[in-house]
Amino acid sequence: MGLKISQYNAVMREYEKKRLKSHDIQVSRYEEVCKKIPEFKSLDDSISILSVQYGRRLLNGDERAVSSLKEELSILRSSKQSLLISAGFPEDYLEPVYECKDCKDTGYIGNEKCHCFKRAAIRLLYEQSNMTELPSDADFENFRLDFYSGTYYDKKTGRSARAVMEDTLKTCRQFIDTFGEEFRNLFFFGNVGVGKTYLSICIAREIMEKEFSVLYFSAPQLFNTLAQTAFDKKDIDSRNLSEFIFDCDLLIIDDLGSEYTNAFIASQFFTCVNERLIHRKSTIISTNLSLESLADLYTERSFSRITSSYTLLKIIGDDIRIKKKLEHREDHSCYVEQNES
């Protein structure tokens, strides 16, 4: 999966800026050298004149012109290098200054994208994802399975929170590994604080590492944006963002049900879900609502689309935020006791 044209162009514009910056540095350094070593400029002028003279000889059929030119140019360039070093400048002082020496700030090595291009693309995708304010440590490396107890059981299924999360993680990994090849959607539901948002962010980061576009919204943010587009057709920024909502590779709708819900919101939700299904664009939805409440708030049509086209993942367990606070207090108490003893 490649970047969208607008995203690709944005990355390439950054490379153009880098090359212009490199050129400006080179020009500034050259002027500095010529000011300190007037002979340096004279040698450069001699090289230019010599190249023109030998060019004419070559056009007139002198076959020895190329070899003679190479010899004289080598002598002049050696003299330039000696002058540069004797004046106290580094020998590579007038070489181009690239941020990436591998691709020379072009983004490509031959026909292949450079490693720095991928970093630039991921950085751009992250900036456009609406995730910059979310916890930066939310990734699978920091995911703690020990927060899900083996003795906390779901009354309906009899399965433990730990077993449920182990299966959920497997499903998340399949979703990531096959993204772009298989069309899938995820629906996380469960009580407050069981890690639904954290899981969504973990997935989003890995999807962006694969250079797919991701857009994150809390439900109130999403519906405010869609409403602004619906009621203000002249708002170009809002309209562009609305189009991106329907078109991005992965849309995350977090905390569905936390917004004020009415007929308009229910209609917008159905449109968003339905349009993305039609165009086979993946979506992750998380909510504290039960499936029954979902049908009541967002119409049977929305409920039908989700239950038939999403993998439903109920997450159970204790409130992790409370567990973290208790854990922090215990760590602090141990620290205080150790310092007092």
213 in Cβ contact with 250 (< 8 Å): yes
Please name the residue ranges forming H helices in the chain: 5-36, 38-59, 65-86, 115-128, 161-177, 196-209, 219-231, 236-247, 263-278, 291-309, 320-340
pLDDT in tens, 98-138: 999 999 999 999 999 898 998 888 888 878 888 877 777 88
pLDDT, averaged across the chain: 85
- What's the half-sphere exposure (Cβ side, CA atoms, 13 Å) at 103? 21
- What's the half-sphere exposure (Cβ side, CA atoms, 13 Å) at 56? 5
pLDDT > 60? residue 93: yes
The pTM of the full predicted model, rounded to 2 decimals, is 0.70
pLDDT > 60? residue 339: no
Helix (H) or strand (E) holding 287: strand 282-287
pLDDT > 80? residue 181: yes
Extract the tokens encoding 285: 């939805």
pLDDT in tens, 198-221: 999 999 999 988 888 899 999 998
218 forms beta bridges with 254
Mean per-residue pLDDT, 167-180: 96
pLDDT in tens, 225-245: 888 877 765 554 545 667 788
Report CA torsion sign: 92, 97, 102, 106.
negative
- b/e map 132-160, b = 16+ CB within 10 Å: eebeeebbeeeeeeebbeeeeeeeeeeeb
The domain covering 130-325 belongs, at the CATH homologous superfamily level, to P-loop containing nucleotide triphosphate hydrolases (3.40.50.300)
Q: Range with the lowest mean pLDDT among 170-174, 231-235, 243-247, 307-311?
A: 231-235
pLDDT > 50? residue 90: yes
Extract the tokens encoding 56: 């004419």
- Ranges for all domains in the chain classified under CATH 3.40.50.300: 130-325
**Predicted pLDDT at 332:** 45
Please name the residue ranges forming H helices in 248-281: 263-278
283 in Cβ contact with 249 (< 8 Å): no
